[in-house]
Chain A
Amino acid sequence: MSLLSVQDLRTYFHTRNGIYRAVDGVSFELNAGETLGIVGESGSGKSVTCYSLMGLIPSPPGRIESGKAMFDGVDLLNCTPKQARSIRGKRINMIFQDPMTSLNPYMRISDQLIEPLMIHEDITKADALKQALEMLDAVGINDASSRIHYYPHEFSGGMRQRVMIAMALITKPELLIADEPTTALDVTVQAQILELIKKMQKEIGMGVIFITHDLGVVSGLCDRVQVMYGGRIVETADTRSLFYEPKHPYTRALQKSIPSMQPKGTELYTIEGLPPDLSKPLPGCSFAPRCEFANEGCTSDRKPELQDVNETHRQSCLRVQSGEL
């Protein structure tokens, strides 16, 4: 039984310079307790996918053109504001990339932490504070009882991200969306935060969608990974097959361009060119202009669709599908 099922999500931004197809037909499922990694470069649509689910797309210019996202019988994209409020912030929570800007600088940590509890649960302020303290302890903030009344600027980057995580987990959500939670942090602090997310996931048993551009982070954390490019999913597989048997040329190229995967002193493998301009419709595969294996068939009118490689592995390269690669 899947916890979240997204079908054919399309989110477009209608701007003066044209329509940006930020997310263009994305479908995926997430089981309870599973960790799904979404990997892609900036502008590939990974964050917009999740913002759409949370109802955080600024409108205008953004508009969800089509799609369904079923979460426990409720379509998150077409539900009443009341239904959305009862789910968002309680059963689905989100951690953002930049802990420096995602906390309110005018509010004490304690007030920010108990806010979700006060809104969603019938609870007294004293009880909420008690739970907030326990949560701060759980995410590894020393001396939580005195620090809970601090303001955000009195915390370091790593500690603020811990506070964000505590805030997201305090309602014991069933789904946590983490949007590049460690990109702004140092490697040593990143290691702390990743361990923390793993530990809390085990305790609460929630599903996690982890958005990142770092393939290394995904490999240790996620059960399943999907790779996005130009607003579409190009490959999805369990972590092991994605890393050891990547099929799509983009996934392979992405892996080859990581410095640690290549012998020292050799020239790094590079993907030529730039990510596509999403405001201009591209015929065929959006990766074709940068792909070393592309031929005429790739730029014809046919949009590549995801096809099964095996039970857990799907990819969308036409040439791989026809057995040419």
Chain B
Amino acid sequence: MPETILELQNLKTHFPIYKGVLLRREIGKVKAVDGVSLKIKQGEVLGLVGESGCGKSTLARTVMQLVHTTEGTVELEGRNLTTSSPSEMLEIRRDLQMIFQDPYASLNPRSTVFATLAEPLLVHKVCTKKEVHARVGELMETVGLAPRFMQKYPHEFSGGQRQRIAIARALALRPKVVLADEPVSALDVSIQAQILNLLAELVKKMGLSLIFIAHDLSVVKHISDRVAVMYLGKIVELGTAEQVIENPVHPYTKALVSAIPTANPDEERDRQRIVLPGDPPSPINPPSGCSFHPRCPHATDQCSITVPVLETFAEREVSCIRKAEI
């Protein structure tokens, strides 16, 4: 049984909203992440899905400690990240790396591939200056880039190749956990498949734990062992990829699954789609009770009063008070 490597407990990230210049006062909070608890095992791929604005990227940034935590803890192998000092954080970042969504914006346009990949190696003193060249070459080969491109700049590469560079940078320090924030949504279908294969292969080969954030459920289902569905800063359903996506329980997951267009015209024509009305509500003033109730087709009066909690149901965890009825 592989052990838990990363544990989030009741994690909250709230951004205060201020008004006024002289009499500056707080007038509210954006509750981007609002009480998330998760455990990730070694070698596991956890998919995190949800609409834009549901807090999935903020969750990743909170885990990385790129934004300040309001409440709760992030523990990596027993070390609490939220109370770590900057020097401790430097150590921890070796084991915890991130891949960003936009490979056009996440690479320094003035650094060559060599400079980009050598920087983490030298900062963390993983190898001497003499060895760096060879290590960077190895890294580039791991992600399927020819080492002879080492002295090129990011603009000379295509989107898929840039994402490979970003992946190489994240893997340079042999991390234990990698967070990938929508790594393929900016890429074309044929390139997307290449990057997904690469990630799956690296997870297997290096025994990585991967948190894979995406809004495309078919991509998430393909790569993940477990899937967590987020809505307005909270996890509403969590279970194995097959259970959650093929047989969803929470009404929001159901709607998400039914909204994916399939490349199958006959199925598509006969399909009854659950079209959710409206947009996700604002996380500044989330609705009372279950935050999904204003858009939920199964909502009752009780849903606007009781705040549902994640409970085990049908071999997964769901937060819906009507889960047994619907």
Within 8 A of A (CB), among B205-264: 215-219, 221-222, 241-242, 255-256, 258-264
Q: Is the CB of B259 within 8 A of A187?
A: yes
Minimum Cβ distance to chain A for residue B268 (Å)? 4
A156: chain B residues within 8 A (beta carbon): 279
Minimum Cβ distance to chain B for residue A122 (Å)? 37
Partner of B261, one of A217, A240, A257: A217
Q: Is the CB of B261 within 8 A of A216?
A: yes
Q: Given A192-B275, A195-B275, A274-B158, are A215 and B193 also a contact pair (CB < 8 Å)?
A: no
Would you call the interface of chain A mostly helix, strand, loop, or mixed? helix
Would you give the 0/1 interface string for A283-319, flagging 1 where the beta carbon is closer than 8 Å to chain B?
A: 0000000000000000000000000000000000000
- Closest B residue to A242 using CB positions: B265
A219 to B268, CA, bound (A): 7
- A268 at interface by CB-CB < 8 Å: yes
Among B167-175, B194-202, B296-304, B306-314, the stretch that binds chain A is: B194-202
Would you give the 0/1 interface string for A188-225, flagging 1 where the beta carbon is closer than 8 Å to chain B?
A: 11111011000000000000000001111111100000
Partner of B263, one of A192, A253, A255: A255
Partner of B276, one of A159, A192, A240, A269: A192
- Identify the interface centre among B189, B201, B256: most chain A CB within 10 Å of its CB: B189
* Chain B interface residue number, banded: 35 or more
- Closest B residue to A43 using CB positions: B188
- A186 at interface by CB-CB < 8 Å: yes
Q: Is the CB of A216 within 8 A of B193?
A: no
Among A1-9, A47-55, A258-266, the stretch that binds chain B is: A258-266
Q: Is the CB of B279 within 8 A of A258?
A: no
B190: chain A residues within 8 A (beta carbon): 41, 253-254, 257, 270-271
- Closest A residue to B187 using CB positions: A42
B158: chain A residues within 8 A (beta carbon): 274
- Closest B residue to A217 using CB positions: B261
- A110 at interface by CB-CB < 8 Å: no
A159: chain B residues within 8 A (beta carbon): 279
Minimum Cβ distance to chain A for residue B202 (Å)? 13
Q: Given A186-B215, A195-B275, are A259 and B263 also a contact pair (CB < 8 Å)?
A: no
Partner of B265, one of A194, A195, A240, A262: A240
Minimum Cβ distance to chain B for residue A190 (Å)? 7
User: Which residues of B are in contact with A by a Cβ distance under 8 Å?
Assistant: 51-52, 158, 160, 188-194, 196-197, 200-201, 215-219, 221-222, 241-242, 255-256, 258-266, 268-269, 271, 273, 275-276, 278-279
Known: A195-B273, A219-B265, A259-B192. 15 other contacts (CB 8 A): A158-B279, A187-B259, A189-B51, A215-B263, A217-B261, A253-B190, A257-B190, A258-B263, A259-B218, A259-B221, A260-B263, A261-B263, A268-B193, A268-B197, A274-B158
6 contacts between A and B (CB under 8 A): A187-B215, A194-B261, A257-B193, A260-B262, A261-B263, A268-B196
